Structure 1
Amino acid sequence: MAEHCSPTFAELATELGFSCEEAGGLVEFRSPFALENWTLPVLELTIIVGAILALWYAIVRLRRHGDPTNLVLWFGATAYLFVIEPPLYFPAAFGIEDHVDTMFAHNVFTVDFLWGRLPLYIIAIYPLMATMAFGIVRMLGIFRRYGVVIGATCVGFVHHAFYEIFDHLGPQLRWWEWSIDNPINQPMFDSVPMGSVVVFAALWPMSLAFCVQYFVGRHVDEGKHFSGIELTWRTVVIGLLASVGTFLLPLPATVIGMLGDTVRGTVYALELAALAIVATVVMVRQWTELRRKTATAPQYTDPFVQRFAILYLLVFAALWIASLPDFFAAVNGETSNGDPIGNLWYTAACFAIAILSVVATFTVPRTTTTPDVAVSTASKVPG
């Protein structure tokens, strides 16, 4: 698809080791042993299997307990993906090339779509990450006690921790490459644009969680049942409105950021700090009061999220450990292969937050009867 090989994408593709003009078609398959390095198939397998299991568990919850929240979350995240990503890959086809140049290029993986632009694992990572973050917050009973807005804020915070573990490692291992000359990607936080650190790691999942809980989750908590048609249109609306939220939430940084990259980065950091402070206070208070039994014990459990989150952290800990020799040998922020390195200390903090969040779900008391053991015909499905 040479007509869509913009100069920027072609240059990024070449740096990653493949040719834009020769990159497949609508779908392309490769041997996992022919990829850039061994970490790419490990990443693919982890994320794709996780997304499939998340979908399977969401279907099981709907069939056994009449709770469609996980399923709507899964498909809502996927709908969001197909609203947001294609214009980023083909700005010329959407008539926005004068305003949005190519921001990044993914490396080629075992399964790719759209002429090398969209790896299958990227499709999978949206619903998987959303499921893990949403599930952790829901298991702590935060939505039920603090409401939709605060619950969504906590989802954004947890998602941010899990996502940045991945985000700060990808450029070094050539999973993708950012266009650092693109002003939208400025300022950079080591190898990651601040826009990715804040918008894609925290604000979009916050927007999605708000929409899912507002249109479906809170009604399920009250015992409401939805028809297939109701769930379908609500899922579509969630995907669309979550996209709008992703535009609105970072608007302060977008507008004030016109004064310069440093100002934009500062406003991004302030937005993230505000989200993190609110979420940390709420999550610590909720966990403490649950442990002291001064708050109502949550009735919702999600064994898939608990188990897979542990696996995710173990896999990424191994990937980070494997990358450390090149990381510490880097000069001026680049490895000997010329690949940019992320921020190790920030990643370590994200690991700590993610681990503590998962541990919290195992250490709070619960009511005797939970949705995972309750009879599906119960008059009310706890959330």
Structure 2
Amino acid sequence: MSPSQPSPAAALARRLLGFSTLPFLASVLPLVALPFMSRAASTDDWSALNIGLGVGTFAGAIGLVGWNILGTPLVAMADSDTARRGLYGRSFYIRSAVVLLASILSAVVASLISPASSWPVAAAFAVAGALNGIGLSWYAVGVSSPRIALWYEVVPRAAATAAAIGVVVLTQDVLWYGILLSLSIIIGTVAFHRRVLGRFWPAWPGMLRLRSDIGDMKAAWGVESIGSLYQNAPVPVAGLIAAPVEVAAYASSDRIYRYGTLGVAAAGNALQGWVLETTDVRSRRSRNLAAFAVMAVIAAIGWVVLAVFGPFLSGLLFGADKQGDPAAFHFLGIAFISVTMATPLIRNILIPARRDGFVLAVNMVSAIVGVALMVVLGSWLGTTGVAIGFAVSETATLIGCVFLATRVGLAPQQRGSSTDRKKER
């Protein structure tokens, strides 16, 4: 190894710091304001805010149309900047159409589930969550450019967060935060188009090309959407079966859990780029093992934070009247371990090997079982039952992915899109 080349450990550390920190900040910045929001909000508004975020985050996953999972390796494997920007442009038009519809539907659903007096808050945060479907982090990871995440996601959301804290503290109306958050996402996306692509909107790729992409993304889209369904179902389910006071407490537990999963997603994105950038079989296997080790450490830390310190942290951040239940935190800790360890299996092994159809099947079974248990156990045990059902769904996903990965191996042959494979024939 030459003196100018970093060691593998140093390269991994740099990747984690550079390509996970900024996307993580882009996601976590809006949550910085939540302690201020919880103290300004009534119990009904706090419940509505979190129900809106839960429904909206699910809508945002639908709006990504699979690009957050399959798009990153496709962009990473593209052979030119023109091809990469073409992929982004195609994704933008597909995602924008779906995000528009998802935003409307999520606002309606969140409003119906939330306390009647707080439906505008639920609708605003549902739209803000749905707009994440036009986010840029997946593309920034694919092109190995943390600057994209910094300037077009972190900076706009930081400005919106700072403004929201001031406005909400003055007005005691958390609705403004949802509105400002939505504006920051739109402004950041348009600014990226103008500065990086040189135009306000990407070049139109043609309807035939878009239809082909949708067909190619179907399985990855299903994986993203169904996985997000049971991941974001707990708070809306709690809103259906529990009183606002109980929902508010569970929402605080869920927010602490979401803080942790943002780190999991950011680390998963960074490790995906690092693992997939090598085509050597031995190196790919070694990097996959290193990725599992990193994620295992994150899983252990997350479990301790949730199961041991979770109730204290929720009370400290969101107020003693909204403190989460210790039993719910215990099962959220189990769910955290499962989602953390499933992430490298899905992103680094199964999806690049184009086993997205099998992953979709696993997610469908987990979603059906998990959501059913959330409703049944929630009706019996309250919000603790919702947490148990959630933990079961995440654990079932992990078990299914482990089974699939043992059949694929640690260094599977990486395959491109269905369109590319047709050309090869």
TM-score normalized by the length of structure 1: 0.32
> By percentage of residues, which structure has more strand?
1
State the TM-score, normalizing by the size of structure 2: 0.30
User: Which one has the bigger helix percentage?
Assistant: 2
